């Protein structure tokens, strides 16, 4: 293919990614907002006052009836903290929220200053753009790194139809973190190491585990160097070439360091102290976390079977093993990313609120949204299934998404 043809093909691939990713994100936002607003309108009148006012939004601006139906439905769980940080910053009066990384609140605040309509609308706009960027980059990453353009639309569709994908539309950090993660890995796949380093740094500012991307990008770099040099030169030469190309990847963890220094400059307690004293969370090593999770499941099976986080814990682990088994998806950097993030998630154990009794990993289901390799594995299974397998699979995802998204405005699905 001529350079001109390659360039044209690249443009056509990006156009397809923009159509699929951008269109899906916009449809996702509009349909979920209408559906969840309808649920809230129909059900909220019969709820007791404590359920309607489930979260304290005293530090956020009041919403009129229409705003409450269309935007107030997202003021749940951690979303309240992100909106509060955007408007009021990191402060002692809301110290529990100071564990959240700063990039998402900063973007919400910037959009609020530039646009009319209030912080909720600004956050909704940022989240929609971020989710669109995540899906566009997912499309391109699948086409470039997996080398399968036909799989890319399926990957986008499955990501948008995941049963709790409504969190991508909530004013939290899910969309932004996924977009920056995929930007980092896509840049690494294209051997644009400086861009990968910058995106990784931003990912660490969006969520602290973004610092792990330095290892994943490093594995992608070694993968590329190994292919070209292993048979011709020594391992030392290959390692030297990797350092020369990718030394800038080392800046990624500085996002976490910078956030820690910023918190220290405000005189805030350490993250560990805030987690323990205000969030009833203890950080443990991953092996201990897995054992504690299993102990909870065995000790309280009736409670575990109703816990969405427990289901996500089991399903994501099984799918992570599936990455190891599948020849098509057995890619060391993506396996390392998936299992590394999974291990981090299991190291954050919650106590029953206000007690010293360990519970489970709260928000585990929401965190697994970022484990895109296992969702691409599902997408590939659907693509390769027969007609009825596709119909049943997609239909099940849509029904589950409709069900769980209806629970979110009623605060009946977890944080």
Res 273 pLDDT > 50: yes
Q: What pLDDT, on the 0 to 100 scale, is given for residue 4?
A: 39
% of residues, the chain, pLDDT over 90: 69
CA distance 286 to 298: 18
DSSP assignment of 129-157: HHHHHHHHHHHHHIIIII--GGGHHHHHH
Least confident range from 67-71, 114-118, 195-199, 305-309: namely 67-71
Can you tell me the mean pLDDT for 243-260?
91
Res 7 pLDDT > 50: no
DSSP assignment of 283-322: E--HHHHHHHHHHHHHH-HHHHTT-HHHHHHHHHHHHHHH
Can you tell me the mean pLDDT for 385-405?
95
Beta bridge partners of 283: 348
Confidence of residue 234 (pLDDT cuts 50, 70, 90): low
Can you tell me the mean pLDDT for 297-315?
92
3-class secondary-structure state, position 58: coil
More confident residue, 233 or 72: 72
Res 8 pLDDT > 60: no
pTM of the model: 0.93
Long-range contacts, stretch 7-14, CB < 8 angstroms, 24+ apart: 13/140, 13/143, 13/149, 14/140
Per-residue pLDDT tens over the stretch 28-49: 999 999 999 999 888 877 766 5
CA distance 353 to 359: 9
Beta bridge partners of 281: 350
Q: Specify which of 61-65, 155-159, 239-243, 267-271 reaches the highest per-range mean pLDDT.
A: 155-159
Can you tell me the mean pLDDT for 327-348?
94
Helices in 58-102 by DSSP H: which ranges? Answer: 65-70, 78-88
DSSP assignment of 338-381: HHHHHHHHHTEEEBSTTSSSB---TTHHHHGGG-HHHHHHHHHH
Beta bridge partners of 349: 282
Least confident range from 149-153, 186-190, 352-356: namely 352-356
CA quadruple 48, 50, 51, 54: dihedral, nearest 10: 160
Can you tell me the mean pLDDT for 320-334?
94
CA distance 200 to 176: 12
Number of neighbours of residue 340 by Cβ within 10 angstroms:
16
């Amino acid at each position: 293919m001529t350079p001109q043809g390659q360039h044209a093909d690249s443009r056509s691939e990006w156009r397809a990614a923009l159509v699929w990713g951008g269109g899906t994100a916009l449809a996702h936002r509009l349909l979920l907002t209408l559906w969840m607003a309808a649920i809230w309108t129909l059900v909220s009148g019969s709820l007791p006052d404590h359920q309607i006012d489930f979260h304290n939004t005293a530090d956020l601006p009041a919403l009129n009836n229409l705003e409450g139906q269309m935007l107030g439905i997202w003021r749940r769980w951690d979303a309240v903290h992100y909106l509060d940080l955007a408007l009021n910053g990191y402060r002692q009066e809301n110290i529990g929220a100071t564990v959240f990384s700063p990039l998402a609140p900063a973007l919400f605040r910037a959009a609020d200053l530039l646009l009319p309509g209030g912080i909720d609308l600004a956050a909704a706009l940022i989240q929609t753009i971020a989710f669109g960027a995540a899906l566009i980059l997912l499309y391109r990453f699948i086409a470039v790194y997996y080398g399968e353009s036909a799989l890319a639309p399926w990957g986008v569709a499955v990501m948008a139809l995941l049963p709790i994908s409504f969190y991508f539309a909530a004013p939290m950090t899910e969309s932004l973190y996924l977009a920056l993660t995929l930007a980092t890995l896509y840049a690494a796949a294209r051997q644009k190491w400086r861009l990968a380093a910058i995106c990784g740094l931003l990912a660490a500012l969006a969520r602290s585990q973004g610092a792990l991307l330095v290892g994943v990008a490093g594995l992608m770099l070694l993968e590329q160097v190994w292919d070209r040099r292993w048979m011709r030169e020594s391992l030392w030469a290959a390692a030297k070439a990797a350092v020369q190309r990718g030394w800038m990847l080392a800046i990624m963890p500085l996002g976490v360091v910078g956030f820690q220094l910023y918190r220290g400059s405000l005189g805030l307690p350490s993250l560990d102290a805030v987690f323990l004293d205000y969030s009833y969370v203890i950080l443990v090593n991953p092996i201990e976390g897995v054992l504690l999770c299993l102990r909870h499941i065995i000790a309280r099976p009736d409670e575990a079977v109703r816990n969405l986080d427990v289901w996500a814990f089991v399903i994501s682990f099984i799918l992570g093993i599936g990455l190891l088994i599948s020849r098509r998806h057995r890619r060391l950097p993506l396996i390392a990313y998936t299992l590394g993030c999974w291990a981090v998630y299991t190291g954050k154990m919650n106590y029953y609120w206000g007690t010293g009794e360990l519970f489970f990993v709260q928000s585990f289901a929401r965190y697994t949204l970022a484990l895109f390799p296992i969702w691409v594995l599902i997408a590939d299974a659907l693509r390769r299934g027969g007609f009825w397998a596709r119909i049943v699979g997609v239909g099940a995802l849509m029904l589950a998404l409709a069900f769980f998204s209806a629970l979110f405005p009623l605060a009946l699905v977890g944080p």
